Amino acid sequence: MSVLATSSPWGFWSYFLDHRSEDLGWLWDHTWLSVVPVIVGLVIALPLGWLARRYEWAYPPLMSVTGILYTIPSIALFVLIPPVLGLDPLTPLQVPIALTLYSVALLVRVVADGLSSVSQETIQAATAIGYRPLGRFLRVELPIAVPVIAAGVRVAVVANVSIVAVAGTIGMSNLGLLFDEGFKLSTKTPYYPPIVLGIVLCVLLALVLDTAVVLLTRAMTPWRRVVR
């Protein structure tokens, strides 16, 4: 058994090479589970954040609901979503739905605060040169709010990478299954390679996604480079 020969923590690379197709599949699942819910969450949070900013009465209830959502531990939300939505108890959909809810909860507040960072002078100037409310929102207020929103998106993406791994403990396909495997193979003596590989891949994925958001933000806000 070559498996036992490489049970040291540094054996994770040869472990990866031995189980490449399986590990890459989990890495891919982990990646889309970390990214897609944030994109969907942002699309939902934009109108809600606008609503919270536009109408004062909408702000407190929106913040309480999202605050309560953000309080519920991820593993609890995973198992609670299927019965609430009337789905199968172990539907693979529960993870992306839970992550989307977390992303919305985080981003509604961020979008509202980002929009409030737009100065009144700017809004008045945009109105004066003929922007209608929708056009002004899309082409003036939203672009100016991008840096604040992007900071929230970075937090959401990096948090998601860690939460997705939790779903591995209830058998969902992602890098968390590497920890599951390592734990099950360590009944008598520690078998480190899958565990270390999982940690390394999760950290790398978080770094790559975080950098991608930073670069994307930079590309979307060219005027900030001129000012500095």
| Window 80-139: residues binding other proteins (CB under 8 A) | 80, 82-83, 86, 89-90, 106, 109-110, 113-114, 116-117
- Give the nearest distance from C-beta 193 to other proteins in angstroms: 11
The number of angstroms, rounded, from the C-alpha of 149 to the middle of its chain's C-alpha atoms is 13
Decide: is 12 part of the binding site for other proteins (CB under 8 A): no
Decide: is 49 part of the binding site for other proteins (CB under 8 A): no
Q: Determine contact, residues 113/188, Cβ cutoff 8 Å.
A: no
Judged by CB under 8 A, which of 26, 50, 78, 137 binds other proteins? 78
Decide: is 3 part of the binding site for other proteins (CB under 8 A): no
Q: Determine contact, residues 198/179, Cβ cutoff 8 Å.
A: yes
| Window 164-193: residues binding other proteins (CB under 8 A) | 165-166, 168-171, 175-176, 178-179, 182-183, 186, 188-192
Amino acid type, 109: R
With H, G, I as helix, E, B as strand and everything else as coil, classify residue 55: coil
Sign of the CA dihedral with 73 first, then 76, 80, and 82 last: positive
Decide: is 79 part of the binding site for other proteins (CB under 8 A): yes
Decide: is 65 part of the binding site for other proteins (CB under 8 A): no
The number of angstroms, rounded, from the C-alpha of 204 to the middle of its chain's C-alpha atoms is 15
Distance between CA atoms of residues 99 and 31, nearest Å: 13
Decide: is 76 part of the binding site for other proteins (CB under 8 A): yes
